[in-house]
Amino acid sequence: MVDFFKKLPEQAVRIIVVFLVLAVVLLVIRQFIIPPEIKDPAVQKLASTQREAAKGIKYAGAEACAQCHDKEPEIKKSGYHRDLSCESCHGASQKHVDNPTEVKPTSPIKRDYCVYCHQYSASRPTGFPQINPDTHNPRKPCISCHNPHNPKPPTAPRSCNACHAQIERAKSASYHALIECSVCHATPEKHKTSPRTVIPTKPDKREFCGQCHDKGSPRKGVPTVDMGAHGEKYVCWQCHYPHTLGGI
C-alpha cells in the first residue's frame, strides 16, 4: 500500500488524501450527528405508527352500531343506502359506543345534508337520483317523505328528466326536442322504482330511424338518406348522437 502511494506523483497523493478526509468527515457526520430516525425508514415508520396509535379512536364502525340497534341496519341492508356506513350520516360515534346514554350521535334532519349527494350535478352518473333543491318541495325536510334507511321515492317520478336531466337539457335544444322519450325508448313502469335493474330499450334496428329518415319516408322537412347505401351495417346511433343539436 505504501509502495503504491510512493509510485504515484505527489499531487495525486494529495488529492487522494483530500478526498479521503472528506469521505471521513461525511461518514462521521452521518454516524454521529444525523439522528437515527432520519437515517432509518424503519424507525420513522415505527414513530409514525406510534404517533397515529396514540390518537383517540373517533369512528366505531357499522358493526358496533348493529350490536345494539337491530331495526335500522336490517332495513338498510336491502335499501339503496346499503353501502353507506351509519357514521356517514350520523357522524363519528365512538364516544356514543363508550357512553350510550350520555352521548348521542347527530342525526341530519335538515335538507342541506342530503343534497351533498343528491343535488343535480352533471358529473354524477346517469340514473343517480338527483334533484334541484330549489324546486323539489322547497323547505320540506327530505326525511318527511323519504326514509333515509331505505330511501324510495314516495311516488314514481312523473317524467324522465327527474333523473336524466342532462339528456333532457341537451335534447330540448336539438331537432328531436318535440319527440317524447318514449317514442324511441320503451320504458317499463318498473324502471321508475328500480332504475338499475329494469332498463328501458334503445332502438336496435336501422329501420327504426328509417321511419323518418329514409329516402322513401312520408315525413316532410326531415333530412333523409338512402338507408340501403348509407352506413351499411351500423345502427344509426353508433355515429349520430340523437340527443344533441343536429343529431350529428
Rounded least distance, CB 28 to other proteins, Å = 11
Rounded least distance, CB 19 to other proteins, Å = 8
Neighbours of 103 (CB within 10 A): 12
Taken as a whole, the chain contains a residue count of: 248
| Separation CA 205–CA 188 (nearest Å) | 20
**Cβ proximity to other proteins, 16 vs 183, nearer residue:** 16
Which amino acid makes up residue 219? R
Handedness of CA 205, 211, 212, 215 (dihedral sign): positive
| Separation CA 223–CA 120 (nearest Å) | 35
| Separation CA 235–CA 184 (nearest Å) | 13
| Separation CA 65–CA 54 (nearest Å) | 24
Residue 19: all three cell numbers together = 478526498
Compute and round to an integer the Cα radius of gyration of the chain: 35
Rounded least distance, CB 39 to other proteins, Å = 5
Residues that bind other proteins (CB under 8 A): 9-12, 14-15, 18-19, 22, 26, 29-30, 34, 38-39
Of 162, 157, 163, which is closest to residue 127 (Cα–Cα)?
163
**Cβ proximity to other proteins, 26 vs 42, nearer residue:** 26
**Cβ proximity to other proteins, 15 vs 183, nearer residue:** 15
- Any residues with CB less than 8 A from the CB of 224 and at least 6 apart, and which? 213, 214, 215, 217
**Cβ proximity to other proteins, 19 vs 116, nearer residue:** 19
Rounded least distance, CB 5 to other proteins, Å = 14
**Cβ proximity to other proteins, 21 vs 198, nearer residue:** 21
**Cβ proximity to other proteins, 85 vs 166, nearer residue:** 166
| Separation CA 202–CA 184 (nearest Å) | 7
Rounded least distance, CB 31 to other proteins, Å = 10
